[in-house]
Amino acid sequence: MAEGRVLFVGRHPGALAWAARRGIVAEPVAHLDPAEVGPGDRVVGTLPVHVAAAIVARGARYTHLVLDLPADARGRDLDPDEMERFGARLEDFAVVPATTPRTEPDDAAENGRAGRGRLGAGLATLGGVFLLGAAALVTSWFASALEALAGALWPQGLEIPPEAGFGEALGLRAVDLVTPRLDAASGAHAADALLALVFLVITYLGLFVLGRRVLRTRIGVSLASARRARRAVVMALSALPPPSLDRLATTAGARLDAVCAVDDAAPWGRFAWQQNLRALRHHLVGGRTVRVEVLVSRESAPQLDAFAALAGRLAAETGARLEIRQAGAPLDFADYQDVEAAVASAIAQLAKDGFAFGDICIDTTAGTKVVSIASAVITMNKDLEFSYVTEQGRVWLFDARLPIAWRGE
């Protein structure tokens, strides 16, 4: 695409007519790939935030078509007069992501990071155990040294005659305290107690530093497009309400990308299983069989065959094949312990069947929030990634680890 072009992204005739009325000279584009723009280009439209950010990142200028729409005007085409009435105007925006995704260059780097994470976590654990044990021993040593020192300084003890009054007792105690026995034995015990105190301070300082400066959670984030496809996926399946289930028949003959698209106007509308299909789409590689372990609830268990038929038909167009299995008995998706145990059992079954952890991806999108949390937590400090699909259909892969990491890194 030539540098310096002005592109108007949109499919609505009213918006194009409004732009022409305003004297905006631009090339109409129904769909824009951010990779096609460059420095000097100007893009006009109502694009999603992440697409606008990608355009700005490539050095192009993004101009947003702003409309102050009331609720009853949303979801329908507007003519130029209506757009004027709703305050249509163009405003430039510099859109940048709050955080920059970190991509992994290759599996070698990924495995190296995983090894360093395991080594760091192991060293931290060993260091903590050593320091706790040392603290117990040094505390006992210090107490014994103090007891021996007191015995050497006051061999007769600090006994006070029972018949002594308060004033007399206080005087006797003061005299005894200020007249300890100072000799070689008491000096040796004093040196021993001082040495124990030094080690005690060092040990507890080490525990303090370990607790405050290491063992913080670090989660690495990467775009799905930067990672290789996995040979096995563990995911949950939510139940579809009857209207959505009935509309699945309208997907007959539709392609995978069309069914996965975020399009409210599609005959099938939006339905929960789209997120499952979007997650699986990343792993569909021609000629490969992808194993899918599906966690089901009591409500979604009877619908598993329908999901398997839909997913299998759509996967076939890529040349891949899905081997979909139910992972254990139906679950209560609100029971954390049961969900965590089911995910662990599915992973163990895959490992038993010859899949390495690096071959498995745990999808956390479908099901309840409890399912998402349990599925993500179980991947911590393992060579397991978990995925999440956004409402816009983008797949994110996460690698959660708990390595030694100094604060601020």
Domain edges within the chain? 6-93, 110-215, 219-401
pLDDT, residue 157, reads 56
219-401: CATH architecture: 3-Layer(aba) Sandwich (3.40)
Residue 237 pairs with which residues in a beta bridge?
296
pLDDT, residue 76, reads 80
pLDDT band at 219 (very low <50, low <70, confident <90, very high): low
Amino acid sitting at position 60: A
pLDDT, residue 348, reads 94
Report the alpha-carbon distance of residue 4 to residue 26 in Å, rounded.
11
pLDDT, residue 294, reads 96
Mean pLDDT of 360-373: 91
Model pTM?
Answer: 0.50
pLDDT, residue 102, reads 42
What SS3 state is found at 236? strand
User: DSSP readout, 283-328?
Assistant: T--TT-EEEEEEEEBTTTGGGHHHHHHHHHHHHHTTT-EEEEEE-S
pLDDT band at 187 (very low <50, low <70, confident <90, very high): confident
pLDDT in tens, 207-217: 777 665 555 55
**Burial of 305 from C-beta contacts in 10 A (0-12 / 13-18 / 19+):** exposed
pLDDT, residue 158, reads 52
Q: Assess whether pLDDT exceeds 70 at residue 177.
A: no
pLDDT, residue 104, reads 41
Phi, psi of 330 (to 5 degrees): -55, 145
Length of the chain: 409
What SS3 state is found at 254? coil
Percentage of the chain exceeding pLDDT 70: 78
pLDDT, residue 390, reads 82
pLDDT, residue 100, reads 46
Please check whether residue 234 is in contact with residue 328, taking contact to mean a CB–CB distance below 8 angstroms.
no
Mean pLDDT of 171-199: 68
User: The tokens 């299995």 sit on which residue?
Assistant: 325
Please check whether residue 135 is in contact with residue 204, taking contact to mean a CB–CB distance below 8 angstroms.
yes
Element (H, E) at 250: none
Report the alpha-carbon distance of residue 388 to residue 376 in Å, rounded.
10
Residue 92 pairs with which residues in a beta bridge?
63
pLDDT, residue 408, reads 43
pLDDT in tens, 229-283: 889 999 999 999 888 888 888 888 888 888 888 777 788 888 889 899 989 988 8
pLDDT in tens, 113-137: 555 555 555 666 677 677 778 878 8
CA–CA distances in Å: residue 231 to residues 33, 41, 222, 298, 404 = 29, 41, 18, 27, 30
Report the alpha-carbon distance of residue 283 to residue 306 in Å, rounded.
20
Mean pLDDT of 75-96: 84
pLDDT in tens, 37-82: 888 888 998 888 888 888 888 888 999 988 888 877 777 888 888 8
pLDDT band at 297 (very low <50, low <70, confident <90, very high): very high
Name the more confident of 105 and 26: 26
pLDDT, residue 225, reads 47
Mean of pLDDT over the chain: 79
Name the more confident of 369 and 265: 369
pLDDT, residue 308, reads 94
Please check whether residue 332 is in contact with residue 383, taking contact to mean a CB–CB distance below 8 angstroms.
no
Name the range with the highest mean pLDDT among 27-31, 129-133, 158-162, 361-365. Answer: 361-365
pLDDT, residue 106, reads 47
Name the more confident of 163 and 353: 353
CA dihedral (103, 105, 111, 112) positive or negative: negative
Report the alpha-carbon distance of residue 281 to residue 361 in Å, rounded.
13
Mean pLDDT of 357-369: 90
27-29 sheet: strands from edge to edge: 27-29, 6-9, 42-45, 61-66, 89-93
Cβ within 8 Å of residue 15, ≥6 positions away: 8, 65, 78, 83
Long-range contact pairs involving 178-183 (C-beta distance under 8 Å, separation at least 24) = 180/153, 180/154, 181/152, 181/153, 181/154, 181/155, 182/153, 183/152
Percentage of the chain exceeding pLDDT 90: 21
